[in-house]
Amino acid sequence: MKYASTRVAFIESLAELAERHQKVALVCSDSAKVVRADEFKARFPERFIDVGIAEQNAVACAAGMASCGLIPFVATYAGFITMRACEQVRTFVAYPKLNVKLVGANGGIGAGEREGVTHQFFEDLGILRTIPGITIVVPADASQVGKAIKAVAEIPGPAYVRIGSGRDPVVFDTDLPFELGKIRILRAGGDDVAIFVNGHTIPRALTAAERLQDSGIKATVVEVHTLKPLDTEGITALLQQTGAAVTVEDHNIIGGLGSAVAEVIAERAPVPLARVGLGDRFPESGEAEQLMDAYGLSVTDIVEACRSVYARKGGRSA
C-alpha cells in the first residue's frame, strides 16, 4: 500500500489558499507540528496564530476573527476540537454561521493508532452531526483532503474536515476530483448490496466487494465523503436499487456514517442494514491496520456484514 500524508496535503492546500486570499488564516493550539505548519508560519507570519494548548480559546478566537471577515482554519486533533471545544464550535461558530473551518487530525482509531484512546477520535462526526449548520467532510486520502479544503473554503460558513495521522493510505489517483455533497460510486453494478464507506476504510470495502464477487454476491461500493449535507437522494436511489446496505467507517457505529445512512433507511427506503465500525467500545494502542482488524473493521467483518444483510433481504445464502 502507498501512503501520503493528509496533514501535509491540508497545509499545502491551505498555503495555496492563503496565497490567493488575504483573509485566510491558520489558528493552532500548539498544533503547528501536528499539521506541519512551519512553512506556512514562515510564509504568512501575520496570519498564523498559535494560542498554545488551549482549544476552547482557539475556536472562540477564530470565531472572533471570522466575525471580522477573516477565514480562519482551526487545526488540531479532532477530539480536542469536537470535545474540548465543542461548545465554542456550537455556540460561537455554528450558531452565528461564522466562516470558521475546522480541521481535525487523528480521525478514527486507525489514524490515532499507537497513541491509544486519548488520541484516537471516533466520536467527532457524531458530535458535529447533531449541531446545526456544519458541513462535515471525511476525505478518502491526502489528495482528496487537498481538494476538500479548497471546496469548503469556497462555501461560506462552518465546516469540518477530518484528516488522519500523517501516514495515510493512498486511496485514489491524485487527479480524481472532489465534489462536495455528492456520493461517489466506486464500484458500480452490484445489485445485491450497497456498501457505504468513507475515509481510509475505502480500500477494505473494495477488497470485501472483490471477495463477495467471488462468492456470487454483487456489491456496489459508494463513497459518502460528505456527511453533512448528506446526499439523501443519491443514497435513497442506491438503497432502492440494492435492497440491502452495509456502512463502513473508522468511527463509532453510533453517530457517524452508519447512523446517517440508518436515518435515510428508516425514513425513506427501509432495507436491512449492518453497520461496520468501532462497536461502541474503547480501542487501545496498536499498529493501524492491526487495530482496525482487531476492532471490527476487518475485511472479513465487512464481508460477513454484507452476507448477513443479503440473507436478511431474502437473497440465497452465498
Partner 1 sequence: MAGQAIKELEHTARQIRRDILTMIYQAGDGHPGPSLSCADLVTALYFSAMNVDPADPRWPGRDRLILSKGHACPAVYAALARKGYFDLDELPRLRSLGSILQGHPDMLKTPGIDFTSGSLGNGISAGLGMALAARINSLDYFTYVITGDGELEEGIVWEAAMAAKHYQVGSLIVMVDYNGVQSGGRIEEISGLEPLVPKWEAFGWHCQVIDGHNFAEILTAIDNAKAVPGMPSVIIARTVKGKGVSFIENNNAWHKRVPTREEWEQAMQELGAEQQ
**62 part of the interface to partner 1, by CB under 8 A:** yes
Question: Which of residues 17 and 140 has its CB atom nearest to partner 1 in the complex?
Answer: 17
Q: Which of residues 248-277 bind partner 1 (CB under 8 A)?
A: none
Name which of 57 and 285 has its Cβ closer to partner 1: 57
Q: What is the 3-state secondary structure (H, E, C) of 28-97?
A: ECCCCCCCCCHHHHHHCHHHEEECCCCHHHHHHHHHHHHCCCCEEEEEEEHHHHHHHCHHHHHHHHHCCC
**Residue 127: alpha-carbon gap to chain centroid:** 13
| Minimum distance from residue 30 beta carbon to partner 1 (Å) | 11
Asked if residue 51 binds partner 1 (CB under 8 A), the reply is yes
Please state, in angstroms and rounded to a whole number, the distance separating the CA atoms of residues 43 and 35: 15
Residue whose cell numbers read 493501524:
288
Contact between 232 and partner 1 (CB under 8 A)? no
CA nearest neighbour of 225 among 296, 144, 119: 144
With respect to partner 1, which residue has the nearer C-beta, 26 or 195?
26
Q: Smallest distance from the beta carbon of 97 to partner 1, in angstroms? A: 7
**Footprint of partner 1 on 91-150 (CB under 8 A):** 91-92, 95-97
**Per-residue cell: 180:** 462536495
Q: Does 88 bind partner 1 (CB under 8 A)?
A: yes
Q: Which is nearer to partner 1, 24 or 186 (CB)?
A: 24
Would you say 66 or 297 has its CB closer to partner 1?
66
The answer to whether 225 and 144 are in contact (CB under 8 A) is yes
Q: Which triple of cell numbers denotes residue 297?
A: 473493521
Positions touching partner 1 (CB under 8 A) are 25, 46-47, 49, 51-52, 54, 56-57, 60-70, 72, 87-88, 91-92, 95-97
